Amino acid sequence: MKPWRLTLTKSLVTSYGMNFAMDNYMARAATFEELTSFHSSDYVDFLATVAPQPLPLDVDNPNPDLKFNLGGSDCPLFEGLYNYCSMSAGASLDAARKITSKQSDIAIAWGGGLHHAKRTEASGFCYINDIVIAILQLLRCYPRVLYIDIDVHHGDGVEEAFFSTDRVMTVSFHKYDPLNFFPGTGALDDNGPQSEHNPGAHHSINVPLNDGITDEQYESLFKRIISKCVEKFRPSAIALQCGADSLAGDRLGKFNLLVEGHASCVEFCKSLGIPLILFGGGGYTPRNVARAWAYETAVAIGHQHNISSTIPAHTPWRERFRHEALCPTLEEILGEPRQNRNPPKKLDEIVRHVTEQLRFVGQAPSVQYQTIPPDLGPIRDEIEARIKEEYEDRDEIGRKMREEGMGDRMEH
């Protein structure tokens, strides 16, 4: 999850002037206590103290003996790993707080969306599951959260985290090939716990797809399934993971989605009028990732129809978006189209299966009212930072006064 994708995204967002149409915040790093709201303390301790190491000699071994699954080719150790994890999680956590405090109806954390990380191990380029941490924050104020994942990979880490609760419903649209495509989970019949006595039964919804699905198919499937889930589950908030590896031309993904098709999912979720968090996620062709997330930012602020399709000439690193075209556009996606292996009959069967599954979901669960302890962590940190600044300002004023007085006659 290289930060270069975020640099390109920010360059587009600011070049189009979208930053003036929304509130922008500098996220603070998540604390150890916040990271361990989901992850085990042993795992977070290890992340904070482990030193970078060279990749093992058996890097091609699919089952290396690695502590917490760290140090392999998927999740290498590098300098600043803990800071990266805490900043990513902190941004997603702050986005959730903006929603729960009613400061925003929509919050964006493009640096988050690391949906594969488990409670005690890293997985699939993901070290800390910022999505789970953010949803736990939402659950402090909202009785039910709908998690939607449009990454090309199955959102296995989030599904596993909320496997046994009826307060979170997870819906994942992904390529499914158990033998040849990571993580190999998320079959149509994977509906959650097998026991009907487990509250999480039927609350895991998986939409397994084949290569080459188009914008029209994806948008239709998404709207049909999500509308049924919203009608049945009645979520109080939505968390949408917008992994851009489901775009055409991605180095790992095999779909034929264009920017508009991918963004139609954001537009539909926004139209529901339910508090919404947008997360980033996968995406391995940086120029296309930036295009998608910038366009989806425009959707979030309601200006997708007002921005020029041609990328502004003053955009930093504009040449990185120029592949074959002299004047690159925001929607342009270049890549060899994949053969579509998703016949309409198969997609209709998926909708029928999900409809039947939702029949077994109980009415939206009520949550016993109780006084929720205030989330004082960020307030305390902000107050401490202000006090520190005041002391530093006072010291600076005193220093300047002493310097001005040095050497004056009759000083004492």
Which ranges constitute the DSSP H helices of 139-214? 156-161
Closest CA to 228 of 361, 324, 384: 361
| Bridge partner residues of 240 (DSSP) | 148, 278
Q: Six-digit token pair at 390?
A: 């005041």
The long-range contacts involving 73-82, CB below 8 angstroms and separated by at least 24 positions, are: 74/122, 74/123, 74/124, 74/125, 75/122, 75/123, 75/124, 75/125, 75/126, 75/127, 77/50, 77/51, 77/52, 77/53, 78/52, 79/52, 81/47, 81/50, 81/52, 81/127, 82/47, 82/48
Residues 123, 70: Cα–Cα separation, whole Å: 8
Q: Six-digit token pair at 40?
A: 């085990």
Q: Band of the pLDDT at 336, cuts 50, 70, 90?
A: confident
Q: Is 116 a catalytic residue?
A: yes
Closest CA to 244 of 276, 199, 284, 294: 284
Least confident of 108-117, 214-223, 237-246, 401-410: 401-410
The reported pLDDT for the residue numbered 3 is: 86
Are the C-beta atoms of 270 and 304 separated by less than 8 Å? no
The reported pLDDT for the residue numbered 262 is: 98
Which is the catalytic residue, given 116, 154, 174, 202?
A: 116
Q: Band of the pLDDT at 410, cuts 50, 70, 90?
A: very low
Asked if pLDDT for residue 370 goes beyond 60, the answer is no
Binding residues: 74, 124, 151, 153, 245, 284
Q: Six-digit token pair at 244?
A: 């851009």
Q: Band of the pLDDT at 412, cuts 50, 70, 90?
A: very low
Residues 335, 254: Cα–Cα separation, whole Å: 10
pLDDT digits (tens, 9 = 90+) for 83-133: 999 999 999 999 999 999 999 999 999 999 999 999 999 999 999 999 999
Asked if pLDDT for residue 275 goes beyond 90, the answer is yes
Residues 97, 320: Cα–Cα separation, whole Å: 34
The residue with greater pLDDT, 314 or 161, is: 161
Least confident of 181-185, 271-275, 298-302, 382-386: 382-386
Averaged confidence pLDDT in the chain = 90
Binding residues for a divalent metal cation: 151, 153, 245
| pTM score | 0.88
The reported pLDDT for the residue numbered 393 is: 74
pLDDT digits (tens, 9 = 90+) for 243-261: 999 999 999 999 999 999 9
Give 130-144 as a DSSP string: HHHHHHHHHTTT-S-
Residues 242, 152: Cα–Cα separation, whole Å: 10
The reported pLDDT for the residue numbered 411 is: 45
* Percentage of the residues of the chain whose pLDDT score is greater than 70: 86
Asked if pLDDT for residue 291 goes beyond 80, the answer is yes
Binding residues for substrate: 74, 124, 284
Asked if pLDDT for residue 366 goes beyond 50, the answer is yes
* Average of per-residue pLDDT across 341-348: 98
Q: The CATH number of 4-375 is which of 3.30.300.30, 3.40.50.2300, 3.40.800.20, 3.40.50.620?
A: 3.40.800.20
Least confident of 137-151, 205-219, 371-385: 371-385
Closest CA to 277 of 266, 293, 262, 290: 266
Which ranges constitute the DSSP H helices of 234-363? 259-271, 286-301, 344-359
Phi, psi dihedrals of residue 174, rounded to the nearest 5°: -155, 160
Are the C-beta atoms of 121 and 215 separated by less than 8 Å? no
Q: Band of the pLDDT at 278, cuts 50, 70, 90?
A: very high
